[in-house]
Structure 1
Amino acid sequence: MSFSVPVSAAGGPGACSGAGPLSILWESDRPLSLTQTLGILAHGRKDPSVRIGPGVAWLAFSTPEGNATLALSEQPAPAPGARVLARAWGPGAGAALAGVPALLGERDDWTAFDDPDFAASLPAAVAETRRRNPGLRLPSTGRMLDSIVPVILEQRVTAMEAYYAWRYLVTKYGADAPGPAPAGLKVPPGAETWRRVPSWEWHRARVDFHRSGTILRACGAASGLERLSGVPLGTDLTERLCSLPGIGPWSAAEITQRTHGAPDSVSVGDYHLAAFVGEALTGRRTDDAGMLELLEPWRGHRQRLVRLLVLSGFRKQAFGPRLAPEDYRGR
């Protein structure tokens, strides 16, 4: 259960006025960790649209009403609850504040996962990680294109390559974040701006024509894709996303984990995930089919379990050289 109340720029109850930001004080009777919950939204440590630190997060994005900067800071709250001060600037400030509850995982219900009978079925490392990290939630942004573009950039390349491309393109073509935002914070480009990126800039960003073409197709269908934010989780949502050429099951899972807080979406086809899950749960690497078989007893919560495995600090053993990045700029 959570609720929000408006606060003034000075921090007291009441309607916002003057040149200060619009603000709300969001409260919940469940714990929340901003860092753990929102960390999945940052595409690399230097993502120009996100700044996340201990107990603080800054996000810049567009809304139907215009661009917005959203600043979130954890406040003292009676245990086991949470309290977050949310401030927003820009034409889209009101819409940004309206999305705060979903962004902070209000829709993410862990009741069944935390049920004693279900919890008893969990691997010991997962159960212990959940006990130590009760503030982890799965966020729902509702912003489809802002999730689709970086996910496409991450297809078939190393994370380092994808993060570089996102950082380069958003820094060059994104809009300055409204308000007193941290230096360099940018609102990611909208569909029309993405469509105007010249071919040589995709090359400079080290993005091959397959990925840039998929992004341009997504931008051409942006209005329809944004409507998918209102489609509930399920097979139909995945099928609609996968109807766009270049979007497959891996991409659909990665997108809905962010846009819908999907608790059961497993990123089948990921370069590392199956081996990581297999080694974490059994001590042996496995493939996608083996990973799904291992996760089957916890169907309905498989993404929760994967997030907890990652949060546990487990690292799979490295064998051989790392995958070398490709440079598409000379092609």
Structure 2
Amino acid sequence: MTTRTVTLAAPDGYDFRRTVGVLCCGRSDPTTRLGRANLWKAVRTPDGPGTVHIGHREGTLSVAAWGDGAGWLLDRADALTGLRDDPAGFLPLARQDPVVAVLADAMPGIRLARTERVFEELLRAVLAQKVTTVEATRSYAGLVRRFGDPAPGPVDLLVPPAARTVAAAPYWAFHPLGIERRRADTLRRLGTVADRLERTVDGPPAEACRLMMTLPGVGPWTAAEVSAVAFGDPDAVSVGDYHVPHQVAYALAGEPRGTDARMLELLAPFRGHRARVVRLITHGSIREPRRAPRAPIRSFARF
């Protein structure tokens, strides 16, 4: 085990739980355990599997890591917890809109976490394509349990699957996990180019998104979802999302339904920080009025 302590520059203005909450893929995520003031996460780093524990106490983060990837995780603990995120310039933009101003004042401590693991975020994003959140998190948990490896350290976690393992798996191995052939084939193709994708973390998110969208099965929504978490991209907007255009339209214009075009129009004054606005709206629990029953929970495993 190796350790590190990170001192917070503004301890009273940091929201640990809301910042790192994006790192957990549902309550059944086998790679992550999230508490009010602590995080356990298993990661397949460039140096090998590793587990990191981060505890938030009295203006500091105490970090401990295990496994071959321990050094990599320690070096990037501040990125993982959003401390490399720079929200400078957002507050003046937030003041231009009364709703965003209230949300920004109510939740000033949210930062954008950055994992720097593109393939792992692609796994989550691809599995969330065209299905409900419940279906996506269930499939992700099944995928990790089927193809992941035991994580180092004192906690019973699993490391996400290696790209080569996903690339080599036959389609039929995905079907019992509730993953139909289209998404399974996308994951398998992405596994073959994962090394190329991981190298994009040192460049601008826009370039990485352009590269991702050249790959079959990866569109603007998937690229934005990955960019928001793998890169901590403050301007990522998930065009094509089922709920977000309605949430934005309702929050910023009082309109019960919205389109992607309307969402982009309303977010235009916040360019450069549009992901922050969406995150605030989401955490502010602003929901558009429901006009239809919830979508049924399906399972491709039974088809």
Question: For this structure pair, what is the TM-score category when the shorter chain's length is used for normalisation?
Answer: over 0.9
For residue 230 of structure 1, report the CA deviation from its aligned partner: 1.4
Question: TM-score, normalised on structure 1?
Answer: 0.87
For 1:131, the equivalent position in structure 2 comes to 105
Letter in 2 for 1:87: A
* 5+ residue gaps, structure 2: none
The reply on whether 1:220 has 2:220 as its aligned counterpart is: no
**Higher Cα Rg, which structure:** 1
For 1:112, the equivalent position in structure 2 comes to 89
For 1:289, the equivalent position in structure 2 comes to 261
Count of residue pairs the alignment pairs up: 300
Q: Distance in 1 between matches of 2:149 and 2:205?
A: 31
Q: Deviations over 1:211-243 (max 9, x none)?
A: 000000100001101111112122x22211101
The reply on whether 1:97 has 2:74 as its aligned counterpart is: yes
For 1:186, the equivalent position in structure 2 comes to 158
The reply on whether 1:153 has 2:135 as its aligned counterpart is: no
For residue 48 of structure 1, report the CA deviation from its aligned partner: 1.0
For 1:63, the equivalent position in structure 2 comes to 45
For 2:140, the equivalent position in structure 1 comes to 166
Q: Distance in 1 between matches of 2:39 and 2:114?
A: 15
For 1:279, the equivalent position in structure 2 comes to 250
Q: Deviations over 1:64-120 (max 9, x none)?
A: 21111100001212xxxxx100100111101110111211223311111124xx332
Q: Deviations over 1:185-233 (max 9, x none)?
A: 1110111221343433311111111100000010000110111111212
Letter in 1 for 2:133: A
> 3-state DSSP class of the match of 1:329?
helix
Q: Are the equivalent residues in 2 in contact too, given 1:276–1:315 (CA < 8 A)?
A: yes
> 3-state DSSP class of the match of 2:300?
coil
For 1:75, the equivalent position in structure 2 comes to 57
For residue 33 of structure 1, report the CA deviation from its aligned partner: 2.1
For 1:4, the equivalent position in structure 2 comes to none
> 3-state DSSP class of the match of 1:72?
strand
Q: Distance in 1 between matches of 2:143 and 2:285?
A: 31
For 2:239, the equivalent position in structure 1 comes to 268
* 5+ residue gaps, structure 1: 1-20, 78-82
State, as a whole percentage, how many aligned pairs show the same letter: 37
> 3-state DSSP class of the match of 2:237?
coil
> 3-state DSSP class of the match of 1:26?
strand
Q: Are the equivalent residues in 2 in contact too, given 1:34–1:57 (CA < 8 A)?
A: no
Q: Are the equivalent residues in 2 in contact too, given 1:33–1:55 (CA < 8 A)?
A: no
Q: Deviations over 1:285-315 (max 9, x none)?
A: 1110011111111111111001011111222
Letter in 2 for 1:122: D
Q: Are the equivalent residues in 1 in contact too, given 2:166–2:188 (CA < 8 A)?
A: yes
> 3-state DSSP class of the match of 1:320?
coil
Q: Distance in 1 between matches of 2:28 and 2:132?
A: 16
Q: Deviations over 1:230-267 (max 9, x none)?
A: 12122x22211101111110011000000111111110
Q: Distance in 1 between matches of 2:214 and 2:167?
A: 20
Quick one: which of 61, 72, 85 aligns to 1:84? 61
